[in-house]
Amino acid sequence: MVKAFDFLTIEIILILVVSNILHFFLQRLGQPSIISQILAGIMVGRTVLLNPKFSESSGNIVDYFSDVVLQARVVFMFIIGLEVDVVYLRQNISRACSIALASISACMALSLAASPLLYPLLSRDGASRLLFILTIGLFLSNSASPVLVCIATDLKLVSSKIGKLAISSAVVNDLTAVVAFFLYSLQLRRSYSAVLSNGIPGKMLDLLVWVILVSLAMLLMKWYISNVEVGCVLIVMGGIIFFMEFVGYDNKTMSFLLGLAFPRKGPTARTILDKLMFSVHSIILPLYFSGVFVNYNLNVLVGKAARKMIGIAFLVSFLSMAGKVIGTVAVTRFIFKTRLRESVVLGILLNAKGYMDIMFLSVGLRYKLWGFDTAVVLMFTIIINTFIACPVARLIVAWERRAYRYNPQSLEHLGPDNQLCVLACVHGQREVPAMLTLCTLCAGNGWSLIAVYLLHLLELTQKYAVDLMTNQKSLNNSSWENDGDDVRQVSLAADSFSQDSGLFIKQLTTLSSYKSMNEDIYMGAEEVRACLVLLPFHKEQRYDRRMVCRKDEKRQLNLKVLQHAPCTIGILVDRPVGSGMSIGMYSTTASLRSARTSTANTDLETPATVTSSGPVHQIVAIFFGGPDDREAASLLARVAPHKSVNATLVRFLPNTEDTLSRNWSSRCTSEFALITEHDMQLERDEQFLTAYQHRYVASGIVTYAERQVNSGPETVTALSSMAGMYSLFIVGKGGPHLSTPMMAGIRDWEECPELGPIGDLLASDDFMDSGSVLIMQQHKVPTNKSRIHNDILR
């Protein structure tokens, strides 16, 4: 036993070393870590170590290794279930189920059609043709969600639409395969009548006990947990999982479902992920994927019959891929109107195979449907499918990245019915309430229209640098939360807001100097496919309502982000002392609490008056014209349906006679080009406002008003009359209106040009001391020259 333990330790070390060495070279070719882990399992498994003397001296080491893998996969499957985007799965459950069931049906139909060819090639003599077709059909139709999650995580495909849809469909497919495997196992048992009379009621009782245990565990996991409590949580979860295995359920399925049912709100799930992520990806994952292939000797593919067996493997792989692609295209293309290219790629991704397929192989061996050589051929098919899925996923990443960079990422082009992805950036706890309140209002009537990522911009100081070097802390929220610093305060503030409002927030942390912090924002926006990036203003309001600048580096950061914006940028000037957005945090959560029984905790001053039916936010968008102002009006349309918002759009128009009295003959040729562009923008403004009034103003969602001004002083007077009436002003940074008489002289007073003349005026202490201001800059699609420049910068 001691000698077997020594050999087992050596094999585990060999697998970890070989997988890391292979990944060091393969990652330069764009391959995810799962490929190197599979190759390590083949190389270190029986394919390489097939030596009778070694097997005898090691005491059947492969069996011991398989037992270790069976226990390690419990933690792995729990983490996989915890990483699944349950919010997206719940919102798109009909689409995911349709894709999964269509691909399963297509694969089953192909297995039936190809059975005259596959049965003589793969089956054993005397095997039941019906059971063979059913088993092969289940093998072809399964999609391995754990494998797909690992590929998507390594290639940063989790945040893309096609990546989320692929993972959701694979989860539904995997769960369907689990149910099918359970029913299939019952059918194959010899004591089938006994199972019908005693087994199924017993299983239902066990399942009821499991539901009760999981529900009790969920009620206890709501608050922040420390390292010791993480261990206690895992012990409780492990006890539930192994109890269910004791009564006859598969521990892999139970651990995955337990992770899937784990509550996402609050810091508990995030803390468990952060604590276990390194050990899972560095140790458990290599052992898991290597253990899948360590029991199969691929040496049988070498010899005279190798070509035939490899050809059969490619044939089965082609049938599996064809079934997935046909079923996926049939649903996504003709029902959901998805592009053909995306439908085909989604079908290929769903062709990834994993542990459930090996379970079907084991069933075929146990009931003598095929021999060991056929099992090796089908195992080789699993490898082929996984290898094909990886470059396809990488191709999707390239498409998504290019589409994100060189397509409009603005609210005007997104439309009000599509989900808005917001990357809200904060420097500290003070900025969290206003940012998250604004994100909550952007959700409108439902959470399905908003996806919020809170990015904490942490400055790389000497303290954090020493901690990184000495303690080797990973860059995530929970790694720093025990220190009582800004990260813990931001995390607790976001968790408290999420519990009070119901808004699901994904928290991110970046650690860098202010000189390179803009690169982190670019990468974060591109990774989550953000359409709107919210930045805090570099000035803060004091108790005497004066705005002060704490760090000029924050202003330089905002200037850099605005210069090379990856999407629409919004700079929020918050005035918490008065009627700003931070005050609105209390109002919004209190209004939500009137509809949903929840609690809100805040220590903010003089909260706004809350009524059960009336609005508590007075929000206005100032419209002069141009793309930035259209973006401001588009954001107003997003927040207007919220029950706590009273939205108003105020359009400033020049005097008609003054507009017609322009002296065109005094313009030079270059000025004519500017006039032409100005007229084009005016035409787009009119088209935009016509559609806007038809959809929002006519239905009463937005109140519309017009103000006619002839000069800059009249514009200032009109704006000053609005002081104290609104809690949030949404304005555009600039546009063609800057050269009109309406703006004459206003730019001479600018203190912060990055806000634009109107935004700078509203943010000034001398002009207004109440009401927050949001300055919008619409994303501009880069030209060919700017594309090259931006690519060099990134």
SS3 call for 790: helix
Phi, psi for residue 706 in degrees, rounded to 5: -125, 145
Q: State the helix-helix crossing angle for 372-406 and 784-793, rounded to 10 degrees.
A: 120
| Residues near 53 by beta carbon (within 8 Å), at least 6 away in sequence | none
| Residues near 556 by beta carbon (within 8 Å), at least 6 away in sequence | 514
This prediction's pTM = 0.77
pLDDT at 787: 46
Long-range CB contacts (< 8 A, 24+ apart) of 232-241?
233/268, 233/272, 234/75, 234/272, 237/78, 238/74, 240/210, 240/213, 240/214, 241/74, 241/78
Of the candidates 419, 429, 457, 425, the one whose C-alpha atom is nearest the C-alpha of residue 438 is: 425
366/258 Cα distance (integer angstroms): 29
In 574-687, beta strands by DSSP E: 617-623, 645-654
CA diameter of the chain: 101
Question: Which neighbouring-strand residues pair with 454?
Answer: 424, 507
SS3 call for 618: strand
| Contact in structure between 110 and 153 (CB atoms under 8 Å) | no
656/660 Cα distance (integer angstroms): 6
pLDDT at 212: 55
SS3 call for 614: coil
| Contact in structure between 45 and 293 (CB atoms under 8 Å) | yes
Measure Cα distances from 529 to 420, 453, 567, 633, 679 in Å: 10, 11, 9, 22, 33
Render the burial of 594-632: b for 16+ CB within 10 Å, e for the rest.
eeeeeebebebeebbebeeeeebbbbbbbbbbbbbbbbb
pLDDT at 424: 95
Measure Cα distances from 572 to 3, 18, 35, 520, 604 in Å: 66, 50, 45, 19, 18
How many other C-beta atoms can be found within 10 angstroms of the C-beta atom of residue 655? 15
pLDDT at 403: 82
Phi, psi for residue 513 in degrees, rounded to 5: -80, 165
Of the candidates 741, 666, 752, the one whose C-alpha atom is nearest the C-alpha of residue 711 is: 741
- DSSP structure class, residue 198: I
| Contact in structure between 65 and 11 (CB atoms under 8 Å) | yes
Tokens of 365: 């061996």
pLDDT at 250: 64
Query: What distance lies between CA 789 and its chain's CA centroid?
Result: 28
Phi, psi for residue 599 in degrees, rounded to 5: -120, 145
Read off the pLDDT of residues 92-127 as tens digits, 9 standing for 90 and up.
788 888 998 999 999 999 989 998 988 888 888 888
552/575 Cα distance (integer angstroms): 19
pLDDT at 291: 67
Rounded to the nearest 5 percent, the helix, strand and coil shares of the chain are 65, 10, 25
534/505 Cα distance (integer angstroms): 14
Question: Which neighbouring-strand residues pair with 412?
Answer: none
Which helix (H) or strand (E) is 566 found in, with range?
A: none
Measure Cα distances from 719 to 624, 722, 750, 777, 783 in Å: 12, 5, 16, 20, 36
479/487 Cα distance (integer angstroms): 9
In 398-473, beta strands by DSSP E: 420-426, 450-459
pLDDT at 47: 52
Handedness of CA 741, 746, 750, 752 (dihedral sign): negative
Q: Is residue 745 left, alpha or beta, with left meaning phi > 0 and alpha meaning psi from -120 to 50?
A: left
Radius of gyration of the chain (CA): 30
Measure Cα distances from 776 to 82, 651, 763 in Å: 36, 16, 14
In this prediction, the residues of the chain whose per-residue pLDDT falls under 50 are: 1-2, 190-203, 205-206, 217, 220-224, 469-484, 585-587, 589-614, 658-674, 785-789, 791-794
356/342 Cα distance (integer angstroms): 26
Q: Is 700 exposed, middle or buried (0-12, 13-18, 19+ CB in 10 A)?
A: exposed
Query: What distance lies between CA 121 and its chain's CA centroid?
Result: 44
CA terminus-to-terminus distance, the chain: 55
| Contact in structure between 207 and 254 (CB atoms under 8 Å) | no
193/207 Cα distance (integer angstroms): 21
